[in-house]
Amino acid sequence: MRSTAVRRTALAASAAALALLATACGGSSDDDGAAEGDKAKAEQSAPADGGNAGESAPAGDALTAAELEKVALAQADVKNGEVTSEIPADEDIAKDQVSTDGKACLPLAHAQAAVAQGEPAADVKRSWTGQTETESEGSGPDGQDMTEISVDMVRLNVASYADGGAERALTELKAAVEQCAGGFTASVGGDKLRVAEVTTTAAPEGGDEGFAATLGVDVGKDANAPMKVVVVRKGATIASFSAANLSSMATGADFEVPAAVIDAQIAKLG
């Protein structure tokens, strides 16, 4: 029988990175005390302004929290990985717990922390965790076969907006990349996070508007640790993904955001 071992050094480094992710990548909606008020605002919201110019399609009505729960990612929507609808309390970062050294960069910090942009009528949270195993080219100390494990984590916020708020959120995010390409410092849940650089990447298809960027986080190593932000607008609803790969956090190597997770969420937005 073939024996299999894990690269312990890589996983140990990834475990250290997980401590950073737990504070820096938590999803958030408004605090519990405002939940009922948010739902009420959503139910009373008016149709978004359909007179916006440009290529993007105008938004429709803002969805309520109950409606967002129906269109947010669920376990049945993905073939691999685990979807969680209840974010652990120690990873649940509220909007007022996120700040930056420059106001222009705040939209990026919110996206990275999976906090809803602007003032949504309602929003809900999800997380997805998945892993892949590949056979390593090397061997263990006793000649045994080695398997490398890659762990991906995605925090998801699905938010609905009234009066053109969704379009404004995408505009502010795109502007933030231009103004904050050289990096910024953020405080997330009381922990400092230094983003050394921000670069745009290919936006996803399937929505009315899309945005994607890579944030190179300074973790005190030769290479910055990449975190990915992907945002998709469909009508008055925005799905915001904050993705990290634990091995990449340790090595600085680039990684691909799980496309199946993004595609599944976009499909549910209609």
Strands 145-160 and 122-139, by their bridges, are: antiparallel
Euclidean distance between CA atoms 241 and 234, whole angstroms = 14
Task: For residue 60, name the pLDDT band (cuts at 50, 70, 90).
Answer: low
At 91, is the pLDDT very low, low, confident or very high (cuts 50, 70, 90)? confident
More confident residue, 46 or 125: 125
Q: Which residue has the higher pLDDT, 221 or 197?
A: 197
In the numeric block, which tokens belong to residue 251? 């090595």
Which two tokens mark 116? Answer: 């809803």
Average pLDDT over every residue of 148-174: 93
The whole-number pLDDT of residue 221 equals 85
Residue 18: pLDDT band (50, 70, 90) is: very low
What percentage of the chain has pLDDT greater than the value 70? 73
Phi-psi domain of 57 (left: phi exceeds 0; alpha: psi -120 through 50; beta: other)? beta
Rounded Cα distance, 157 and 234, in Å: 14
Summarize pLDDT for 205-243 with one digit per residue, the tens.
Answer: 999 999 999 999 998 888 899 999 999 999 999 999 999
Distance (Å, rounded) from C-alpha 115 to C-alpha 106?
11
Q: How far apart are CA 147 and CA 145, in angstroms?
A: 7
pLDDT of the residue at 61? 84
- Residues present in the chain in total: 270
d(CA 93, CA 231) in angstroms, rounded, equals: 18
Model confidence at 100: pLDDT above 80: yes
What is the model's pLDDT at position 201? 94
Alpha carbons within 13 angstroms on the beta-carbon side of residue 210 total: 13
Confidence at 40, pLDDT banded by 50, 70, 90: very low
First to last CA, the chain: 48
Q: Rounded to whole angstroms, how far apart are CA atoms 190 and 185? A: 12
Interval 179-186 mean pLDDT? 95
The answer to whether residues 116 and 95 touch, using CB atoms and an 8 Å cutoff, is yes
Q: What is the mean pLDDT of the chain?
A: 80
| The two structure tokens encoding residue 8 | 């312990």
145 band by pLDDT with thresholds 50, 70 and 90: low
Smallest CA-to-CA distance from 265 within 227, 237, 228, 226 is with: 237
Token representation of residue 45: 């919201």
* Cα 164–Cα 95–Cα 180 angle in degrees, nearest 5: 75
The DSSP code for 256 is -
pLDDT at 159 over 80: yes
H helices of the chain, where? 8-24, 35-44, 65-71, 106-112, 165-179, 246-251, 259-268
Burial 106-143 (b: 16+ CB within 10 A, else e): bbbbbbbbbbbbebbbbbbbbbbebeeeeebeeebeee
CA distance readout (Å), 204 to 102, 136, 153, 209: 28, 31, 18, 9
What pLDDT is recorded for position 138?
65
pTM of the model: 0.76
